[in-house]
Structure 1
């Protein structure tokens, strides 16, 4: 049985970064992957999504100018060509990632499961690790309804060669909102089924509701407090039966009801590792209840955003902890997150919803972006909400606009570094008139 300093389960962003860091210490490493090398983000997640978003944003922005009478004819998205270009860019990435990892680690493809606290089995081979790192990520949540075999997931949509005439999404999270935006921009009629009474529940709800209004104005339909109960095939179409009035006849059904941790094949009980349906339990040192086993990335049950930068931050922390003698618990920085719909939704720091009733400790102010010449020229109807603490520091921001993601990125260091208006004016003279025009006004 071969023994290693580290066994790493998974090759997503967290695992990939950790492998590269451990290589600098000349550790013996075994990396195990049961799916695409590189994980979700570079293959069927954030990287291909943002690639598609570039074309989608351009088309929808042109269409908005056409409605204002400024552009005589807006653009039209060629979905088939866009998909062809996307596949040409990303098809080689899994093999390239495997080659890169193979240069610094032993690699095996297959599903790993624990035999005991130091031993795993993969493809009937046994391996021991002084430390084992679980970084197996998440996958689309599975719906247990009759006809579930007809469902597609986000990975399918991101490789969809032929545009459906009508698409039905199940779910109201960021995956549903983003992919619905993409397909609708290409010309598909889109219906979104939302189990509850709201979408994007982790975002500022005033702006989440506004995003729904904007998407409805472009023809996207929403059905709230609605769940599918059965899916049947009818010739070349599908019938989605609902708990409310229905049914819906559609060409393509996407399950975007959430994501679940990849843990059931690991046989965690064999190593007596604590876990729940939310993921693997870890402490503030990313250690499980078993001394030599750790978990990082989306597979954990931590109450932090499941984002690539967060996973990579955890990898860096774990390396510093295990190899550099860091003893402090993990302390997360200011985290920005966004929804690549149209308009975009983004936020960082404190969500205004969480402090709406706490006027003694926080002040909430809203700004209309169209007061800036930049946004007025873009025919932008965006809104920005800023949360200030008692000392008048910015501690939270939320925005809905065509450029919300990049706008909020500008605020992340202001929140994380606790920069006050005097420090800003003393140390910063950014380009004018652009986003700086907005920041200057807020920090006056």
Structure 2
């Protein structure tokens, strides 16, 4: 094995893969070290399996609303065995494609556990590798709550690998991960209770959009309990008990903890005390993604950036360009579109807040006339009439539309100019554009 490289990246998730491939394409000698599966959280325990489950859940949710309205026959049943097989096949194909792309780019893939033992030095299985630039792209992991019985809960990694559906679940945490798990599993036929210690769910999004998202969760039949911090999880005769307080206990088959994530920093090894962290516990970086230790860079979920796959991929490519190509600045996080895959999705770009939204509307889509669950749509524009700086959407297709909105906002359009475009009739976009 070669021991000297231009750059060594630790972690084969979205950020590490992007950096390694682009750095190699710029003619540099690069090694990528991954201790588990290529693709990281997104491919193996996050975005990809979630979106595959959501695709089935979305179809079932639309159909069930029509069934309850008497317009369709009985609801179809999910074949979990075939769904899991299809999911596994897709994930494996993505891993293979990443492996092929690394090989084509000339990246040395090392499947082992790495540890920093000195500046510019990485040790694997007793062998020392050297590079003037080390890149940490080690991602993160779910964190369970500090409470009695926390070890009895499932985290999001485990949920996305379930091969059978429980009858009833309680989810602790009202962020986008908890809400996505709630919406998906309710549509799949699971009885869901969502418990959050905040006054509303989806606090990552503006309040108006989040409120509509919460009403849609409740319209699915999901019980939402806000302002509550559970006391304990305990085994019961036929499942689990989630103790909310001295008077209230939920009896369910599974309890899911969607209570945040923490960075994977084990690879820092002996250098851990020499690297600065933020208040959130992630690696502090500058505009060149460099940590407080010269020559050590960080990208992806372990760094102080937005923990989203597209940001990780962009930052990996940007760092490769900064180190070995033409310099460019990191993408402005205010231009990053985000989505919660609830039903219908909630999407935003521009970091809107309630006091910045100058025009908004909540409405019932035409499809609600035929569906017993009657979901609501919402749109909001932030900034001002002279310069629109944010867009919020709750609607079918919001996860697709919000990305186009992000490109539109790069030009800071005025509201009157936006009205000159004509939307599709009948649709929620028509209301926004009119």
TM-score greater than 0.5 by the shorter chain: yes
Q: Deviations over 1:276-318 (max 9, x none)?
A: 443000012211122211111111123xx31111111212221
Instruction: Specify which of 376, 384, 395 is matched with residue 389 of structure 2.
Output: 395
Q: 1:232 to 1:397 in 2, by over 3 A?
A: same
- For the residues of structure 1 that align with 2:366 and 2:235, how far apart are their CA atoms? 52
Using CA pairs under 8 Å that are at least 6 residues apart, name the structure with larger relative contact order, 1 or 2: 2
| 2:344 aligned residue | 343
SS, match of residue 5 in structure 2: strand
Q: How does 1:318-357 map to 2 (within 5 A)?
A: 318-326=319-327, 328=329, 331-332=332-333, 334-353=335-354, 356=355
Instruction: Specify which of 385, 390, 400 is matched with residue 380 of structure 2.
Output: 385
Q: Deviations over 1:290-349 (max 9, x none)?
A: 2211111111123xx311111112122212211224165654461111111112111111
The alpha-carbon deviation at position 432 of structure 1 amounts to: 6.1
Farther off after superposition, 26-35 or 96-105:
96-105
- For the residues of structure 1 that align with 2:218 and 2:183, how far apart are their CA atoms? 11
The alpha-carbon deviation at position 265 of structure 1 amounts to: 4.3
Q: Deviations over 1:176-229 (max 9, x none)?
A: 111111111121111222122222111012232232222223221222233333
Q: 1:170 to 1:425 in 2, by over 3 A?
A: closer
- For the residues of structure 2 that align with 1:226 and 1:319, how far apart are their CA atoms? 45
CA contact (8 A) 2:422 2:433 kept: no
Q: 1:235 to 1:121 in 2, by over 3 A?
A: farther
Farther off after superposition, 107-116 or 239-248:
239-248
Q: What TM-score do the two structures reach when normalised by structure 1?
A: 0.87
Farther off after superposition, 246-255 or 293-302:
246-255
SS, match of residue 20 in structure 1: helix
Q: 1:421 to 1:199 in 2, by over 3 A?
A: closer
CA contact (8 A) 1:369 1:375 kept: no
| 2:195 aligned residue | 193
Let me know the Cα RMSD of the aligned residues.
2.8
Structure 2 residue 141 is the aligned partner of structure 1 residue 139: yes
CA contact (8 A) 2:194 2:223 kept: yes
The alpha-carbon deviation at position 350 of structure 1 amounts to: 3.4
SS, match of residue 280 in structure 1: coil
Q: What TM-score do the two structures reach when normalised by structure 2?
A: 0.89
Structure 2 residue 254 is the aligned partner of structure 1 residue 288: no
- For the residues of structure 2 that align with 1:241 and 1:425, how far apart are their CA atoms? 52
Structure 1: tracts of 5 or more residues without a match: 357-361
| 1:365 aligned residue | 359
Q: 1:374 to 1:179 in 2, by over 3 A?
A: closer
| 1:359 aligned residue | none
The alpha-carbon deviation at position 235 of structure 1 amounts to: 4.3
SS, match of residue 4 in structure 1: coil
Structure 2 residue 402 is the aligned partner of structure 1 residue 408: yes
| 2:255 aligned residue | 253
| 1:314 aligned residue | 315
Q: 1:223 to 1:395 in 2, by over 3 A?
A: same
CA contact (8 A) 2:216 2:375 kept: no
| 2:89 aligned residue | 88
| 2:268 aligned residue | 266
Q: 1:425 to 1:191 in 2, by over 3 A?
A: closer
Structure 2 residue 184 is the aligned partner of structure 1 residue 182: yes
The alpha-carbon deviation at position 10 of structure 1 amounts to: 0.6
- Number of residue pairs aligned between Structure 1 and Structure 2: 429
CA contact (8 A) 1:226 1:244 kept: no
- For the residues of structure 2 that align with 1:197 and 1:114, how far apart are their CA atoms? 43
Q: Deviations over 1:61-80 (max 9, x none)?
A: 12223344444555444444
- For the residues of structure 2 that align with 1:400 and 1:258, how far apart are their CA atoms? 24
SS, match of residue 285 in structure 1: coil
Q: 1:398 to 1:431 in 2, by over 3 A?
A: closer
